[in-house]
Amino acid sequence: MQSSVISSASRFRTEVFPRRGDLYRHLAQNGQQPKALVISCADSRVIPEEIMQSGPGEIFVCRNAGNIVPPTAQFTGGVSASIEYAVVVLGVRDIVICGHSDCGAMKALLQPDSLKTMPNVQAWLRHADAARCVVCESYPDLESKAAARALAMENVALQLNHLRTHASVAARLARGEMTLHGWFFDLETGGLLALDGKEERFVEVAEGAEMPVAVTAAERRVA
Protein backbone atom coordinates (compact mmCIF):
# COMPACT_ATOMS: atom_id res chain seq x y z
CA MET A 1 0.00 0.00 0.00
CA GLN A 2 1.33 3.41 -0.94
CA SER A 3 1.77 5.91 1.87
CA SER A 4 -0.39 9.02 1.88
CA VAL A 5 2.76 11.09 1.35
CA ILE A 6 3.57 9.28 -1.89
CA SER A 7 -0.03 9.49 -3.06
CA SER A 8 -0.04 13.24 -2.43
CA ALA A 9 2.44 13.74 -5.26
CA SER A 10 -0.32 13.14 -7.79
CA ARG A 11 -2.56 15.68 -6.05
CA PHE A 12 0.19 18.27 -6.39
CA ARG A 13 0.17 17.78 -10.15
CA THR A 14 -3.59 17.95 -10.51
CA GLU A 15 -4.61 20.41 -7.76
CA VAL A 16 -1.68 22.56 -6.59
CA PHE A 17 0.41 23.02 -9.73
CA PRO A 18 -2.43 24.47 -11.85
CA ARG A 19 -2.83 27.31 -9.33
CA ARG A 20 0.87 28.16 -9.49
CA GLY A 21 1.56 27.24 -13.08
CA ASP A 22 2.55 30.76 -14.12
CA LEU A 23 5.18 30.93 -11.37
CA TYR A 24 6.69 27.56 -12.26
CA ARG A 25 6.77 28.43 -15.96
CA HIS A 26 8.51 31.70 -15.13
CA LEU A 27 11.10 29.85 -13.04
CA ALA A 28 11.59 27.23 -15.75
CA GLN A 29 12.17 29.87 -18.41
CA ASN A 30 14.21 32.36 -16.38
CA GLY A 31 16.02 30.17 -13.86
CA GLN A 32 16.20 30.53 -10.10
CA GLN A 33 17.34 33.62 -8.23
CA PRO A 34 17.11 32.70 -4.53
CA LYS A 35 18.04 35.40 -2.05
CA ALA A 36 19.45 33.10 0.62
CA LEU A 37 21.03 29.72 1.23
CA VAL A 38 19.56 27.86 4.20
CA ILE A 39 21.48 24.95 5.72
CA SER A 40 19.13 23.10 8.05
CA CYS A 41 18.73 19.75 9.71
CA ALA A 42 17.18 16.92 7.70
CA ASP A 43 14.67 16.35 10.53
CA SER A 44 11.26 15.95 8.90
CA ARG A 45 9.71 18.32 11.45
CA VAL A 46 11.87 21.24 10.33
CA ILE A 47 10.75 22.81 7.05
CA PRO A 48 12.79 25.91 6.14
CA GLU A 49 10.33 27.01 3.47
CA GLU A 50 7.51 26.97 6.01
CA ILE A 51 9.51 28.71 8.73
CA MET A 52 10.51 31.48 6.32
CA GLN A 53 7.14 31.50 4.54
CA SER A 54 8.91 31.33 1.19
CA GLY A 55 7.71 30.07 -2.16
CA PRO A 56 9.39 28.26 -5.07
CA GLY A 57 12.60 29.94 -6.18
CA GLU A 58 13.03 32.12 -3.10
CA ILE A 59 15.51 30.14 -0.97
CA PHE A 60 18.16 27.54 -1.80
CA VAL A 61 18.01 24.77 0.81
CA CYS A 62 20.63 22.22 1.85
CA ARG A 63 19.57 19.73 4.52
CA ASN A 64 21.60 17.15 6.40
CA ALA A 65 21.76 15.42 9.77
CA GLY A 66 22.65 18.06 12.35
CA ASN A 67 22.78 21.08 9.97
CA ILE A 68 26.51 20.51 9.63
CA VAL A 69 29.04 22.34 7.46
CA PRO A 70 32.32 20.41 7.32
CA PRO A 71 35.43 22.62 7.23
CA THR A 72 36.41 22.94 3.59
CA ALA A 73 39.91 21.48 4.04
CA GLN A 74 38.61 18.33 5.72
CA PHE A 75 35.74 17.20 3.53
CA THR A 76 34.44 17.62 0.00
CA GLY A 77 30.85 16.58 -0.56
CA GLY A 78 27.31 17.69 -1.21
CA VAL A 79 27.24 20.40 1.44
CA SER A 80 30.47 22.00 0.20
CA ALA A 81 29.27 21.82 -3.40
CA SER A 82 25.90 23.34 -2.50
CA ILE A 83 27.57 26.24 -0.69
CA GLU A 84 29.92 26.92 -3.59
CA TYR A 85 27.13 26.78 -6.17
CA ALA A 86 24.81 29.00 -4.13
CA VAL A 87 27.50 31.65 -3.63
CA VAL A 88 29.34 31.59 -6.97
CA VAL A 89 26.55 30.80 -9.42
CA LEU A 90 23.36 31.93 -7.71
CA GLY A 91 24.94 34.90 -5.97
CA VAL A 92 23.16 34.53 -2.63
CA ARG A 93 24.04 37.29 -0.18
CA ASP A 94 22.69 35.65 2.99
CA ILE A 95 23.42 32.22 4.45
CA VAL A 96 21.41 30.81 7.35
CA ILE A 97 22.40 27.82 9.47
CA CYS A 98 19.29 26.64 11.30
CA GLY A 99 19.38 24.26 14.25
CA HIS A 100 16.37 23.14 16.27
CA SER A 101 15.12 21.72 19.54
CA ASP A 102 14.83 17.95 20.13
CA CYS A 103 17.51 17.30 17.49
CA GLY A 104 18.29 13.60 17.19
CA ALA A 105 21.81 14.30 15.95
CA MET A 106 22.61 16.40 19.01
CA LYS A 107 21.14 13.82 21.38
CA ALA A 108 23.22 11.14 19.69
CA LEU A 109 26.38 13.22 20.17
CA LEU A 110 25.71 13.24 23.89
CA GLN A 111 25.21 9.44 23.87
CA PRO A 112 28.15 8.07 21.82
CA ASP A 113 27.15 4.44 22.41
CA SER A 114 23.99 5.01 20.37
CA LEU A 115 26.14 5.53 17.26
CA LYS A 116 28.03 2.23 17.34
CA THR A 117 25.77 0.61 14.76
CA MET A 118 25.77 3.70 12.51
CA PRO A 119 29.40 4.28 11.45
CA ASN A 120 28.51 6.78 8.72
CA VAL A 121 26.43 8.89 11.07
CA GLN A 122 29.18 8.66 13.69
CA ALA A 123 31.78 9.90 11.19
CA TRP A 124 29.53 12.72 10.00
CA LEU A 125 28.81 13.97 13.51
CA ARG A 126 32.53 14.30 14.27
CA HIS A 127 32.18 17.67 12.53
CA ALA A 128 30.14 18.76 15.55
CA ASP A 129 32.34 17.24 18.24
CA ALA A 130 33.90 20.57 19.22
CA ALA A 131 30.42 21.83 20.15
CA ARG A 132 29.92 18.74 22.32
CA CYS A 133 33.18 19.49 24.13
CA VAL A 134 32.03 23.06 24.76
CA VAL A 135 28.79 21.84 26.31
CA CYS A 136 30.48 19.17 28.43
CA GLU A 137 32.97 21.64 29.87
CA SER A 138 30.95 24.89 29.98
CA TYR A 139 27.50 23.47 30.82
CA PRO A 140 28.42 20.57 33.15
CA ASP A 141 25.29 20.66 35.31
CA LEU A 142 22.57 20.53 32.64
CA GLU A 143 20.20 17.57 32.51
CA SER A 144 19.96 15.70 29.20
CA LYS A 145 17.18 17.72 27.50
CA ALA A 146 18.70 21.07 28.41
CA ALA A 147 22.15 19.84 27.39
CA ALA A 148 20.86 18.79 23.96
CA ARG A 149 19.25 22.21 23.53
CA ALA A 150 22.46 23.99 24.47
CA LEU A 151 24.42 21.71 22.16
CA ALA A 152 22.11 22.52 19.24
CA MET A 153 22.86 26.23 19.73
CA GLU A 154 26.60 25.73 20.22
CA ASN A 155 26.60 23.57 17.10
CA VAL A 156 25.10 26.39 15.03
CA ALA A 157 27.89 28.70 16.21
CA LEU A 158 30.51 26.05 15.38
CA GLN A 159 29.13 25.41 11.90
CA LEU A 160 29.15 29.16 11.18
CA ASN A 161 32.89 29.08 11.95
CA HIS A 162 33.29 26.14 9.57
CA LEU A 163 31.31 28.00 6.92
CA ARG A 164 33.83 30.83 6.97
CA THR A 165 36.59 28.41 5.92
CA HIS A 166 34.96 27.95 2.51
CA ALA A 167 36.81 30.04 -0.08
CA SER A 168 33.72 31.42 -1.81
CA VAL A 169 32.20 32.52 1.51
CA ALA A 170 35.46 33.99 2.83
CA ALA A 171 35.88 36.05 -0.34
CA ARG A 172 32.34 37.46 -0.23
CA LEU A 173 32.67 38.28 3.46
CA ALA A 174 35.94 40.14 2.86
CA ARG A 175 34.23 42.18 0.14
CA GLY A 176 31.31 43.01 2.41
CA GLU A 177 28.88 41.19 0.15
CA MET A 178 27.55 38.54 2.49
CA THR A 179 25.76 38.21 5.83
CA LEU A 180 25.72 35.04 7.93
CA HIS A 181 22.87 34.05 10.23
CA GLY A 182 22.54 31.44 12.97
CA TRP A 183 19.02 30.36 13.91
CA PHE A 184 17.47 28.02 16.44
CA PHE A 185 13.89 26.83 15.85
CA ASP A 186 11.82 25.61 18.80
CA LEU A 187 9.56 22.78 17.68
CA GLU A 188 7.17 23.03 20.61
CA THR A 189 6.50 26.76 20.52
CA GLY A 190 7.34 27.77 16.96
CA GLY A 191 9.72 30.34 18.45
CA LEU A 192 12.80 31.44 16.57
CA LEU A 193 16.06 32.51 18.19
CA ALA A 194 18.84 34.23 16.23
CA LEU A 195 22.52 34.43 17.06
CA ASP A 196 23.53 38.02 17.77
CA GLY A 197 27.17 38.31 16.73
CA LYS A 198 27.74 41.43 18.82
CA GLU A 199 26.29 39.98 22.01
CA GLU A 200 27.59 36.47 21.19
CA ARG A 201 24.37 34.82 22.29
CA PHE A 202 21.03 33.70 20.90
CA VAL A 203 18.17 36.16 21.32
CA GLU A 204 14.48 35.81 20.63
CA VAL A 205 13.30 37.21 17.32
CA ALA A 206 10.53 39.66 18.14
CA GLU A 207 7.80 40.36 15.61
CA GLY A 208 8.52 43.58 13.74
CA ALA A 209 12.03 43.91 15.20
CA GLU A 210 15.22 43.88 13.18
CA MET A 211 16.66 40.38 12.79
CA PRO A 212 19.91 39.91 14.74
CA VAL A 213 22.75 38.60 12.58
CA ALA A 214 25.77 36.47 13.39
CA VAL A 215 28.21 38.07 10.91
CA THR A 216 27.31 41.38 9.31
CA ALA A 217 28.23 42.44 5.80
CA ALA A 218 31.29 44.66 6.18
CA GLU A 219 34.25 45.07 3.86
CA ARG A 220 37.46 43.85 5.49
CA ARG A 221 41.14 44.00 4.57
CA VAL A 222 43.68 43.19 7.27
CA ALA A 223 46.81 43.84 5.17
Q: Which residues are annotated as a binding site?
A: 41, 43, 100, 103
Which stretch of DSSP H or E encloses residue 150? helix 144-163
Instruction: Report yes or no: 92 and 150 within 8 Å, Cβ to Cβ.
Output: no
Q: Per the annotation, where are the binding residues for Zn(2+)? A: 41, 43, 100, 103
| Cβ-based neighbour number of residue 169 at 10 Å | 24
Return d(Cα 125, Cα 207) in angstroms, integer: 34
Give 62-126 as a 3 state SS string.
Answer: EEECCCCCCCCCCCCCHHHHHHHHHHHHCCCCEEEEEEECCCHHHHHHCCHHHHCCCHHHHHHHH
Secondary structure percentages of the chain, helix, strand, coil, to 5: 45, 15, 40
Shortest CA distance to 100 belongs to which of 38, 188, 181, 36?
A: 188
In sequence order, the β-bridge partners of residue 182 are 97
